[in-house]
Structure 1
């Protein structure tokens, strides 16, 4: 019997890289052309951040909540669980993230700022929306295997981390736990497959673990004059 230290990450993978990427392709083929409205929805969120409205502070987290609930069923439960039994146990956590976004997200202020971690969050969101779908081409795979915001978990988790970093309010950190955990788990999977996208997932998780910086300077306490 081999010693435990002789095992590599590939030995614990339940499927081959080809099976995984083929699953992404089949998922895309089933949902096409939903990718187009999803990308337009991401662009709308970007507009709401740049020019917030009174209703946008509820619409952004509400939209994210629907997407996380949708991914819990459409990707994890219906698709990913067919090759990875652990996916069915992860789906409830996606549903939990949807509930947290619905309950806590509406109490936050979602807008673009150039203070604190907000610029990094903005960059993460733009990457997830625009560049991550092109990672398949850069890795030598077909565009049919592109991972799109709202369609697959990886770009959605990265985008959510970026958006939460731009949100202002108490308990915003609670909205980072599930997407960060997913990024770590997905990084481990992609690492075992030697996929180039792995480093973006790891970077997003590490950024989310940095303590939330204050976006607005505290007001100085009034001084008493004799």
Structure 2
């Protein structure tokens, strides 16, 4: 059993969305920029993408979990810490160490990545509206946990190996936590979250293993 009702969850979302407006617009703009950087490759493209993902995780951890979700669920203190930690890891690996590289690919992992990114940014809100949860009574791209996680998995599937396994741990944990809660709360657009980690992590690991084998052969 969850420590809050579905009505309380939706009311908390309304309060959050109304309280942070128009940050949602900026978040969507950052998401579009991240996608554009996969094709338009300026010198700092990889660092910019990593920075955008880090901002989304840090914002969601602090603004959503700590400042709003804690009002109905004290476990959000822990959830927020996980999101802040993921944002810090992304910033360290991608910005400080410059060890997170992205590139275009036509393999199976990239195709799934396209699907995840498209779902998080476009299909996710449309499905929410179709099922009767229009704005502001809906999780919004870039500023709430589930679409941020799906979007991040999408970009990890575009990442060039090696990809640090530390980057995968927290998104995978949240895919199980948030995805399970989606069924209890009746948020169908979040159902994909439950399988996103199970699908994305093996594909990322397989790409990493394949790169290691290629390195051995050469």
TM-score (norm 2): 0.88
Q: Which moved more, 1:106-115 or 1:73-82?
A: 106-115
Cα separation, 2, equivalents of 1:128 and 1:32: 19
Q: Say whether the 8 Å CA contact 1:164–1:172 is kept in structure 2.
A: no
Shift of the alpha carbon at 1:205?
A: 2.1
The count of aligned residue pairs is: 211
1:204 paired with 2:196, answer yes
**For the residues of structure 1 that align with 2:155 and 2:16, how far apart are their CA atoms?**
25
Aligned with residue 25 of structure 2, among 19, 36, 47? 36
The alpha carbon displacement at 1:116 in A equals 4.2
**Higher helix fraction (1 or 2):** 2
1:94-121, Cα deviation, whole Å (9 max, x unpaired)? 1110121012223121122112411111
TM-superposition CA deviations, 1:163-188 (whole Å, max 9, x none)? 11111132433212111211211112
TM-score of the two chains, using structure 1 as the length reference: 0.85
After superposition, the CA RMSD in angstroms is: 2.0
Residue segments in structure 1 that go unaligned for 5+ positions in a row: 1-11
Partner of 2:56: 67
Query: Relative to 1, partners in 2 of residues 1:168 and 1:139: Cα closer, same or farther, differing over 3 Å?
Result: same
C-alpha distance in 2, partners of 1:162/1:211? 11
Following the alignment from structure 1 to structure 2, what is the Cα–Cα distance between the partners of residues 76 and 17?
17
> Aligned match of 2:186 in 190, 194, 201?
194
Which structure has the larger Rg over C-alpha atoms?
A: 1
